[in-house]
């Protein structure tokens, strides 16, 4: 089969690889009908996540048709249409049984490595380095899905793939980010980052009762999409001090909640950002927490900072005194996708949200190498790339 392979920093190749085999009784093999490139894939592309090895198959947002199931999978059969959460949960451990699926005890074969870094290991992830299990990802034609009786959601409607694909990761991620922000009716929420996760965070904030959402980015088409969703927008490249502008906009309070949908590869002018870039170049610092610093500074007293943006290592110069002095709450982490599949599918089926509006590029799988670059550099007004594993490039 064809698969998108990481071959080094900024090096992506589509290679011919063996089809996946069943390895455990609770496995299923899925034929992938649509997949996507995630913002967090860019951290792999840019070489910021350790334990990537040449040949690793990327991709954690995918859906398709079940090809075969193992003896331990009774609730799915060949031919079922499924969306598959990007985090792998066993369904039996303390964390899965308390709905904290992305913290599963039992799905990371390399848990010992994550334990060295973090103290304890979270769940395995599809296509996201050997630190997270070394599972082959879904930017391919087929994929092996472990614990298939737990993760995949069976789809029984006739909606097209592009309306459903984002249930695998970014829609639940934006939604959980808004939930984590503890939004009360009438609140003002500030969202840093108008990429796909930010867009879903904006939509979800309104769904959860926010009165106003202020979205912050500098890319024109992303700000425009945010406005289409009802957000007020700030272009941080044109503003001296976002904190002061937010103070003005919120009657002197500051936003009630802030969402950092940017994470470890933030751009933008900030005290320390030049310093971060130097340190990152020399691998002395892994993560650039620019948006995080602003979000802490801007948040109102007693507010909640919600962090869906991915961080991997350690960060420098975070205004923790401000966080403490204002008594803020922080909530963060990898998305517990399984929790949100049914409720969010209902929203899509009821027509309350159409996730496909963020798609700007639909390409064949073989275009993945260029697509990664286009997405990373935000060229061609790119917001979200989906890949068709079976479409042939036009001759």
Partner 1 sequence: MQLSAYTPLDVQTTLGVPGEEGLIEAQATMTIARSPQVLYDLWRDTSQIPKWQERIVQVSDLGNGRCRWTMFINNDKKLEWDSQVIAEEPSNWIAWRTEEGADIQTAGQVIFEPALNGRGTVVRVTQQFRLPGGKFASFFSAPHLRSPEAYVRENLRHFKQLAETGEIARAQGQPHGKSDMRGEVESILLGEENEVGERSTAA
Closest residue by Cα to residue 192 from 184, 181, 301, 182: 181
- For residue 125, count other CB atoms closer than 10 A to its CB: 24
For the CB of residue 92, give the shortest distance to partner 1 in the complex, in Å: 4
For the CB of residue 37, give the shortest distance to partner 1 in the complex, in Å: 17
Among 10, 54, 301, 342, binds partner 1 (CB under 8 A): 54
Query: Helix or strand or coil: residue 33?
Result: strand
Residues composing the chain: 395
Among 47, 65, 68, 211, binds partner 1 (CB under 8 A): 68
Among 9, 11, 55, 342, binds partner 1 (CB under 8 A): 55
Nearer to partner 1, 120 or 274 (CB): 120
Query: Helix or strand or coil: residue 316?
Result: coil
DSSP 8-state assignment for residue 392: P
Among 38, 44, 45, 56, binds partner 1 (CB under 8 A): 56
297 binding partner 1? (CB under 8 A)? no
Which two structure tokens, joined as six digits, stand for 138? 């879904």
Which two structure tokens, joined as six digits, stand for 212? 């106003």
Nearer to partner 1, 108 or 233 (CB): 108
Helix, strand and coil in the chain, % to nearest 5: 35, 20, 45
Count, residues near partner 1 per rule CB under 8 A: 53
219 contacts 378 by C-beta, under 8 angstroms:
yes
Provide the strand spans (E) within 209-296.
212-217, 232-235, 257-260
Among 39, 64, 85, 133, binds partner 1 (CB under 8 A): 133
Range 90-129, binding partner 1 (CB under 8 A)? 90-94, 97, 105-113, 124
Closest residue by Cα to residue 62 from 129, 162, 149: 162
Nearer to partner 1, 67 or 187 (CB): 67
DSSP 8-state assignment for residue 38: -
212 binding partner 1? (CB under 8 A)? no
Question: Which helix or strand (DSSP H or E) is residue 130 part of?
Answer: none
Interacting span for partner 1 (CB under 8 A) from 141-149, 157-165, 197-205, 318-326: 141-149
7 binding partner 1? (CB under 8 A)? yes
64 binding partner 1? (CB under 8 A)? no
Range 260-289, binding partner 1 (CB under 8 A)? none
1 binding partner 1? (CB under 8 A)? yes
CA 90/CA 70 separation, integer angstroms: 15
338 binding partner 1? (CB under 8 A)? no
Interacting span for partner 1 (CB under 8 A) from 7-15, 79-87, 201-209, 316-324: 7-15
Interacting span for partner 1 (CB under 8 A) from 132-140, 165-173, 216-224, 302-310: 132-140
Among 86, 147, 294, 372, binds partner 1 (CB under 8 A): 147
* 177-215: burial string, b at 16+ Cβ within 10 Å, e else: bbbbbbbeeebbbbbbbbbbbbbbbbbbbbbbebebbbb
Among 43, 60, 81, 144, binds partner 1 (CB under 8 A): 144
Among 31, 46, 47, 51, binds partner 1 (CB under 8 A): 51
Interacting span for partner 1 (CB under 8 A) from 46-54, 229-237, 250-258, 295-303: 46-54
45 binding partner 1? (CB under 8 A)? no
For the CB of residue 267, give the shortest distance to partner 1 in the complex, in Å: 30
Which two structure tokens, joined as six digits, stand for 38? 């995630």
* Strand 304-307, strand 329-332: pairing: parallel
Closest residue by Cα to residue 64 from 36, 105, 38, 42: 36
* DSSP track, 157-213: S---HHHHGGGGTHHHHHHHHHHHTTPPTT-EEEEE--SHHHHHHHHHHHHTT-SEE
CA 144/CA 135 separation, integer angstroms: 9
For the CB of residue 6, give the shortest distance to partner 1 in the complex, in Å: 8
Among 57, 164, 225, 266, binds partner 1 (CB under 8 A): 57
**Contact residues for partner 1 (CB under 8 A)?**
1, 3, 5, 7, 13, 15, 17-27, 51, 53-57, 68-72, 90-94, 97, 105-113, 124, 130, 133-136, 140, 144, 146-147
């Amino acid at each position: 089969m064809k698969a998108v392979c990481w071959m080094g920093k900024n090096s992506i190749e589509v290679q011919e690889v063996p089809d996946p085999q069943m390895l455990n009784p609770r496995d299923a093999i899925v034929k992938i009908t649509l997949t996507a490139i995630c913002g967090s894939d860019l951290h792999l592309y840019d070489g910021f996540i350790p334990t990537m090895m040449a040949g690793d198959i990327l991709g954690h947002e995918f859906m398709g048709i079940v090809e075969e199931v193992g003896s331990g999978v009774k609730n799915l059969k060949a031919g079922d249409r499924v969306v598959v959460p990007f985090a792998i949960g066993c369904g039996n451990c303390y964390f899965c049984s308390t709905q904290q699926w992305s913290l599963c005890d039992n799905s990371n074969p390399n848990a010992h490595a994550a334990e060295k870094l973090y103290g304890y290991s979270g769940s395995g992830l599809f296509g996201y380095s050997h630190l997270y299990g070394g599972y082959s990802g879904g930017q391919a034609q087929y994929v092996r899905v472990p614990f298939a009786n737990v993760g995949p959601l069976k789809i029984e409607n006739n909606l097209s793939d592009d309306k459903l694909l984002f249930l695998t990761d970014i829609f639940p991620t934006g939604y959980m980010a808004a939930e984590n922000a503890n939004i009360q009716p009438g609140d003002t929420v500030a969202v840093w980052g108008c990429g796909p996760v930010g867009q879903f965070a904006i939509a979800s904030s309104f769904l959860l009762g926010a009165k106003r959402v202020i979205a912050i980015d500098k890319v024109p088409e992303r700000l425009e999409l945010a406005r289409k969703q009802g957000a007020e927008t700030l272009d941080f490249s044109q503003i001296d001090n976002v904190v002061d502008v937010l103070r003005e906009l919120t009657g002197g309070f500051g936003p009630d909640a802030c969402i950092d949908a940017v994470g470890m590869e933030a751009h933008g002018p900030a005290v320390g950002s030049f310093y971060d870039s130097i340190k990152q170049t020399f691998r002395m610092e892994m993560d650039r927490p620019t948006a995080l610093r602003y979000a802490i500074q801007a948040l109102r007293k007693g507010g909640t900072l919600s962090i869906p943006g991915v961080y991997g290592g350690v960060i420098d110069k975070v205004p923790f005194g401000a966080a403490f002095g204002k008594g803020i709450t922080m909530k963060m982490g990898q998305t517990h996708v399984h929790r949100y599949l049914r409720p969010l599918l209902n929203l899509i089926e009821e027509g309350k949200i159409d996730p496909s509006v963020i798609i700007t590029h639909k390409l064949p799988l073989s275009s993945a190498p260029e697509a990664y670059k286009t997405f990373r550099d935000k060229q061609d007004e790119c917001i979200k790339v989906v890949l068709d594993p079976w479409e042939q490039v036009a001759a």
